A and B are shown apart, each in its own frame.
Chain A
C-alpha cells in the first residue's frame, strides 16, 4: 500500500558534521511534507515543511529537499549538535481535501561528541 518510509532506522554523526536523513514516499498525489523531531520523553515537534511546488526550503540550520521525480524527501542538518539527537519523522499530506498526515517510522539520529 501507499506509505511513507525511511531508508535508515539509525544514523550516527560526529558533532559538527552535517546530517542527512532520508525519506521515501509513494503517493504521487501528496502535496505537502513535514519533518518532525521527537526527543526522548516528548511528543513530535515540527521542524520544517515543504509544499510540492518547491524543491528546497531552508530554515535555521535545516534544509529540506524534495525530489518529486523519485518521490524522495531529505532533511539536512548543518553543524549537528548534541541537542539534535532525536528521532526524526517525515510526514505527508495525501493531497487536496485530505487533512490526514501519514507518518514514516522515523530515523534515530545520534550525535557523537
Chain B
C-alpha cells in the first residue's frame, strides 16, 4: 500500500449507469489529483484539488464530476459514460501543489459497456 487507497479496484458499468470512484489518503497531503491512463497513451491530468478546492479542470467532459469533501478524500462521479472512457483512473496526492513527490493509488480499472 502506498498510502493512497482507491476503491473499487475494478468497475464495469453501462452507459446509462451512475457510479463513483473513491480515493482516500492519510498522508497529510494537501493536494489531490485525478489522472486517466488509457492504453498506449500518456497519463492525462483530469482534475486538481488543493486544500479541497478545485484548481484545475483539464477540459474534462461534464460526465465526469469530481468532489473533494476534505483534504483526505476525493471522489469522481461518473454518469452517462462512453465506451472510450474505459481506462485506468488513478488518484494521486502530494504535500502541496508544486511538490512533485506524487503518491499514486493503484487505480480503478473502469470498463464502460
* Contacts from A to B (Cβ < 8 Å): 3-4, 32, 34, 41-46, 49, 89, 91, 93, 99-106
Number of interface residues of B (CB under 8 A): 22
- A93 and B90 form a contact (CB under 8 A): no
> Closest A-chain residue to B58, C-beta based?
A100
- A101 and B4 form a contact (CB under 8 A): no
- B45 and A101 form a contact (CB under 8 A): yes
- A99 and B101 form a contact (CB under 8 A): no
* Contacts from B to A (Cβ < 8 Å): 2, 4, 31, 40-43, 45, 48, 56, 90, 92, 97-98, 100-107
CB contacts (< 8 Å) of B107 on chain A: these are 42-43
Q: Per DSSP, are chain A's interface residues mostly helix, strand or loop, or mixed?
A: strand
> Closest A-chain residue to B102, C-beta based?
A46
CB contacts (< 8 Å) of B104 on chain A: these are 43-45
